[in-house]
Amino acid sequence: MFEAIAFYLFAFLTIAMFFITVTTSQALYALTALASGMIFISAFFFILGAEFLGAIQIVVYSGAVMALYAFGMMFFDTTRDVKEKQGNKMIVSGLSVLSAVLVVVIFAAPMVSENITALYPIAEGVGNTQGVGMVLFTKYLIPFEVAAIMLLVAMISGIVLAGKKMDLSLTMMSDAEIRDMKLDQTKKVLS
Amino acid sequence: MMEIGLNHYLVLSTILFAIGLVGVMRRKNLLLLFFATEILLNSVNIAFAAISHYYGDYTGQMFAFFVIAIAASEVAVGLGLLIVWHKRHGNIDLDSMSTMKG
Amino acid sequence: MEFYLYLALFSPLVGSLFAGLFGASPKTKLAGIVPTLLLFVSFLSATKLLLYILDGGAPVHVEMMTWMETGSLYIPFGFIVDQVSVTMMMVVTIVSTVVHIYSNGYMDHDKAFNRFFSYLSAFVFSMMILVMSDNFAGLFIGWEGVGLCSWLLIGFWYHKESATWAANEAFIMNRIADLGMLIGIFLVYWNTGTLQYDQAFAAMATLDTDVLTLMGIFLFIGAMGKSAQFPLHTWLADAMEGPTPVSALIHAATMVTAGVYLVVRSNELYSLIPHIGLFIASLGAFVAIFAASMALVNRDMKRIIAYSTLSQLGYMFAAAGLGAYWVALFHLMAHAFFKALLFLGAGNVMHAMHDELDPFKMGGLKKPMKVTYIMMTLASLALAGIFPFAGFFSKDLILEVAMIEHHYVIYSVLVFTAGLTAFYSFRLTALIFEGEERHKLFGIDPHEAYKFMLVGMSPLLLLAIIAGSFKMTYFEMVTAVLPEVHYHIHSEVLAWTMNIGTQLFVIAAILYAYKKYTTIGMNIPDGTSATENSFIYKLLKNQYYIPYAYERFLVEPYRSLSTFFWTQIDQKVVDGTVDGIAGILYQTGEQTRDMQSGNLSTMLKWMVAGTVAMLSLAVVFGLAVKLGA
């Protein structure tokens, strides 16, 4: 019973938050709503017994990703209302409703075969984190490493794209050069 | 109704996905478009986790895990590009970004 | 011996290709000399082969390579030199060599000198393939090749519209006849399973007469086109648009005799269907008198000689149709020599008279052009059939054949035609060489042709005179493959009456012509005299109105039909459809280009729309599977 209450509560909250995200005209409200939506989704993960995933959701999404978005919003004038030339509302809502209905129909009519066997069954006796670790570092090792490389690439690209004054590297210059550079700056400021 | 089955989660995931689609189609500000993309990814994560729970398989959670990793790197790169564009053009309105006109 | 075969066959090709290298360059003497020399080499090889065959050698049969081998059809590139083909080879190479030598001088001032020799040698090569091939398919290749080269050569001065028209007429008429020939070849293959001469003819002995009749008819239709028998004869006279050496080579000695060659080669077939042979003979006799009648009143020098060729072809077919194949071949050989000589002499006259063709504008040319005068007169004597020139032996033989086979109608027609032949030939020579010098009125000062041209023509003159003496040698040689029929009139009295009578008739015609056309101060026909306005004269002058009928009843309707097809169907329907399809594609592109607006929002909407479409497909198929299972 608790599960049902929790499910419906968090479902309602999540839907509300995300609805605000897509319909509000203020960027800050959208950001906040998105962040809270992320948190509520992690609640679902906990309900479903995927604790590790839930923790990751909070740390990565609500923590890192939202922080990134917040930093990004620093560059834009967020007090200004986002002026949006609206397209045809009918098309938008119509298409999304239609797709939702279709997906539900796909699920409702049981078209999935009844006898699906689990590829990596949930181990008994171990907690979720330990179980995830057992599968991740053995069966999914290569995707793991590749994901690591991808994150590295993303990090470097983030630095390159958004960094300023990166052609000057203090660690690679000798002391004499650093001294000369400082003198030049002083001269420029004083003259 | 009391008994929460797989279908409930899947319907929830669908509704969230539809909301995300609305956002994707509606938003003209690029940053807000990214928010809608995040919604899409999250809704899919819910579906994966739900299937993993109800079939007793770790595969769903693994997939959700990697989706999160990908979403994170996507945000990083996307925001970087967005900043560069903003520096060049001064605004991030979609309707003004039609240089790739066919 | 095979070496000589290949040498004879391919030397003209090499000469043609060599001259073709200079096709776009200005005239160079080398382009004329090398093909001539190569053709002389071919002539020497042919002579060697002739001596070999005369000595009693077996026919040289080679198979150069396989052409087609599909299913049960096997056609090789095979060549055979037997008695019949060696005769034809000799004729072709002698006349071609002489014509090549002559052309070096005749086409001297022509800009397209090199191209001319290329075409001329190519023609000789095709003709050699025709006569040396050992199967019907190779014959057909040569057939088409000579047709093509004839078109190239008739329309040599392609800037003249009359020349191109004549070339097209010749080619198209030949093509129509070739359809008949192809059907004949198909029938041969279908009923005998092979196209090789020896095997096909051997198999024909067992076939049904009806089938053989059809074969013979269709093959003869092909011969009709090539040898310009009625009704496919109009192209020969118009083909005189080409340069005179072309007329000498093609339309006197070689191409037009291809039809006769075909009938002679297929003698085993035609012997089995004598009723078709009778038809061929009758047609030949008809053509003989038909052409001779048109030559009586013509005022174009080359056309007169062309009609004379047509008439003599009729003689050849008459002989072949009556079963005297060796006689037909003999007349072919003799005729080639003196007719080519006549044409070449006419070329000399044309050159001297600055391309004037009307003999009434000439006259008294025997003084400045002695050698040509002698040559043309002797050639005309040979043509008329005066003893002891070549024409006497061959023509008289044909008359004897007609008499012996009891075809008196054919006989009388041929005799009458002999008289007409003599008349118009000497009308021509008299008008050109005798009488008053009308050319002085036009201020033309004629001079004789180059010495080397005259020297080159002399072998033909010699052969025209002495070819009759070859008769016995030739007979013994060629009857190894052709039916050996001795033609002796049993009654000595009848034989002598025939010979002497024919000679007298012919001589009378000659004298009449001389009297009529050499009187000083004779009336030039100017369109007002009673004779000229008589019905018969008009009929003959306009070639029995046959070209007019063809133009009015065949060409015009066909042209309007073609125009209709072109404008209404091709342009509107076919082009319209093709353009329409392209237009649809283009319009689709134009309409859907708006999808690529560069606006991300629009594209995202399209993406969702596509997703919805695919989802609905998934639902539909899933339901179908579920309900079907």
Express each pLDDT in C51-78 by its tens digit: 988 888 788 888 888 888 888 888 888 9
Task: Specify whether the CB–CB gap between B36 and B73 falls below 8 A.
Answer: no
Report H helices in C72-208: 83-106, 113-132, 136-154, 161-192, 197-204
What's the mean pLDDT in C230-236?
85
Does position A111 have pLDDT exceeding 60, yes or no? no
Domain span at residue A166? 140-191
Domain count, chain A: 1
Are A37 and B61 an interchain contact pair (Cβ–Cβ within 8 Å)? no
Q: How confident is the model at residue A82 (pLDDT cuts 50, 70, 90)?
A: low
> Is A90 inside a domain boundary?
no
**Residues of C with CB below 8 A from B102's CB?**
593, 595-598
What's the mean pLDDT in A152-163?
86
Are A99 and C618 an interchain contact pair (Cβ–Cβ within 8 Å)? no
> Is A182 inside a domain boundary?
yes
What's the mean pLDDT in C176-202?
90
> Is A38 inside a domain boundary?
no
**Residues of B with CB below 8 A from A104's CB?**
10-11, 14
- Give the containing element (helix H, strand E) for C66: strand C60-70
What's the mean pLDDT in C16-30?
87
Express each pLDDT in B54-101 by its tens digit: 888 899 999 999 999 999 999 999 988 888 888 888 777 777 777 777
> Is A19 inside a domain boundary?
no
In this prediction, residue A36 carries a pLDDT of 95
Percent of chain C with pLDDT over 90: 24
Q: What is the DSSP letter of A124?
A: S
Instruction: Say whether residue A64 is in contact with chain B using an 8 A CB cutoff.
Output: yes
Mean pLDDT over all residues of chain C? 86
In this prediction, residue B89 carries a pLDDT of 81
> Is A112 inside a domain boundary?
no
Are C599 and B102 an interchain contact pair (Cβ–Cβ within 8 Å)? no
Task: Specify whether the CB–CB gap between C268 and C201 falls below 8 A.
Answer: yes
Residue with the larger pLDDT of the pair C253 and B44: B44
d(CA C184, CA C189): 9
d(CA C328, CA C240): 25
Q: CA C211 → CA A114, C140, C178, C188, C214, distances in Å?
A: 77, 21, 19, 9, 5
Nearest CA in chain B to C605: B25
In this prediction, residue C523 carries a pLDDT of 67
Are C612 and A99 an interchain contact pair (Cβ–Cβ within 8 Å)? yes
Q: Check if CATH label 1.10.287.3510 holds for domain B10-93.
A: yes
Of A87, A98, A105, the CB nearest to C612: A98
Express each pLDDT in C416-438 by its tens digit: 999 999 999 988 888 888 877 77
d(CA A107, CA A100): 11
Does position C400 have pLDDT exceeding 90, yes or no? no
Task: Specify whether the CB–CB gap between C302 and C240 falls below 8 A.
Answer: yes
Q: Residue A79: CB partners within 8 Å, gap ≥ 6?
A: none
d(CA B63, CA A119): 13
Instruction: Say whether residue A92 is in contact with chain B using an 8 A CB cutoff.
Output: yes
Express each pLDDT in C258-313 by its tens digit: 889 999 998 888 888 888 888 999 999 999 999 998 888 888 889 899 999 999 99
Of C596, C601, C605, the CB nearest to B101: C596
> Is A155 inside a domain boundary?
yes
> Is A31 inside a domain boundary?
no
Listed residue (C385, A8, C559, A136) closest to B11, CA to CA: A8
Are C605 and A92 an interchain contact pair (Cβ–Cβ within 8 Å)? yes
What does the block give as tokens for A90? Answer: 């009918």
**Residues of C with CB below 8 A from B93's CB?**
none
Express each pLDDT in C330-347 by its tens digit: 999 899 998 999 999 999
For chains A and B, what is the number of CB pairs under 8 angstroms? 217
Say whether pTM exceeds 0.80. no
In this prediction, residue C467 carries a pLDDT of 82
Of B18, B42, B59, the CB nearest to A38: B42
Are C599 and B24 an interchain contact pair (Cβ–Cβ within 8 Å)? no
Are B81 and A119 an interchain contact pair (Cβ–Cβ within 8 Å)? no
In this prediction, residue A110 carries a pLDDT of 62
d(CA C471, CA C281): 22
In this prediction, residue C531 carries a pLDDT of 66
> Is A75 inside a domain boundary?
no
Q: CA C584 → CA B102, C25, C570, C589, distances in Å?
A: 19, 50, 20, 9
